[in-house]
Amino acid sequence: MFNLTFKALGLDCSYLPFEVPPEELQATVEEAKALGIAGFNVTMPHKVAIIPLLDKISNEAYQIGSVNTVVRSSTGFEGHNTDGEGALRALRASGFEPRNRKILVLGAGGAARAIVHKLSSEAESIVVLNRSEEKSSIVAGINRGVAKTYSAKLSKTELEKNIGNTDLIVNATPLGTIEMLNDFKIPLANIRDNEWVFDLAYGHSSVQHGPRLRVNALEMLLQQAGLSYQLWFESPAPLDLMRSILTDQNGGDWR
Ligand code: NAP
């Protein structure tokens, strides 16, 4: 998406993937600086570990505790997080408004942290369920606003209690919600017709059966990438162009 965008706009830039082993992270950041790299994205498993290796962290990335975008500035490398705002924009672009709504978050990793941080200033309540109960309570504690939060271990009982009693399910695990409900032997019909489902992991949202109201992972990919672009170039992202490029790469529109 970025390379075709740069080409279409005549920008002399390239976006390259680097697979970085955890023990090489510090050396990689130093080499990126020495090479004059203008900015980069950070993904699993480095979003937390990179924080002490950067020269500055935005308030939002600091509060979330994870960085997904790094920008070169006159003072060095600055860390930002566009996952929370990207998720919020994806929800709104899909027709879901989080204000005063009940939200169920499955998972308690970096993406869940960013989403709870962002949505807690608007939602009525947020329930966080995770395999490791300790992590779910830490993520529920990232609440910065009006939302009432509750956390528990991910279990059949908690899923049955909360699915069907929420306005939006945000699945921030690598599993799709349909797959997760199947694993727990919970009927899909427990999800009400007016309940939204947002599977963050790619590939699950294209499932044809199941919930009617869906937010696609690619919408969040686009929105958080647009925010990264804005940080790197200090100008609004060409979102329509990026959407068209991603649609072509995906083989069709996801909306
Ligand atoms: P992460 O930090 O590794 O967290 C993963 C979370 O999923 C953890 O809470 C983990 O539980 C839970 N989990 C893993 N496997 C599970 C399973 N089999 N059953 C139940 N829970 C499981 O990852 P992340 O960065 O938050 O990303 C989560 C997902 O979102 C990934 O698939 C990623 O690709 C996707 N994502 C998408 C976008 C987008 O733009 N669409 C952006 C960011 C992330 P434990 O704590 O118990 O290990």
Closest C-alpha to ligand 1, atom 2: 109
Report the separation in Å between the CA atom of 97 and the middle of ligand 1, taken as the mean of its atom positions: 23
Decide if domain 84-215 falls under CATH 3.40.50.720: yes
Where along the chain do its domains lie? 2-81+219-250, 84-215
Identical fold for domains 2-81+219-250 and 84-215, yes or no, is yes
pLDDT in tens, 194-217: 999 999 998 765 555 567 788 999
Task: Give the E-state strand segments of 74-208 in sequence order.
Answer: 76-80, 102-106, 125-130, 148-153, 168-171, 196-199
Closest C-alpha to ligand 1, atom 44: 111
Identify the pLDDT of residue 29: 98
Report the separation in Å between the CA atom of 245 and the middle of ligand 1, taken as the mean of its atom positions: 26
- Whether the pLDDT of residue 227 is over 90: the answer is yes
Report the separation in Å between the CA atom of 168 and the middle of ligand 1, taken as the mean of its atom positions: 17
- Whether the pLDDT of residue 127 is over 60: the answer is yes
Question: Lowest mean pLDDT: which of 16-20, 100-104, 154-158, 202-206?
Answer: 202-206
Average pLDDT estimate for 25-48: 95
110 Cβ below 6 A of ligand 1 = yes
Contacts of 107 (CB under 8 A, 6+ apart): 130, 171, 172, 173
User: Are 173 and 199 a contacting pair, CB within 8 Å?
Assistant: no
* Homologous superfamily (CATH) for 2-81+219-250: Leucine Dehydrogenase, chain A, domain 1 (3.40.50.10860)
Q: Which residues are catalytic?
A: 47
112 Cβ below 6 A of ligand 1 = yes
- Tokens linked to 47: 């979003």
pLDDT band at 234 (very low <50, low <70, confident <90, very high): very high
pLDDT in tens, 56-112: 999 999 999 999 999 999 999 999 999 999 999 999 999 999 999 999 999 999 999
Average pLDDT estimate for 114-120: 96
132 Cβ below 6 A of ligand 1 = yes
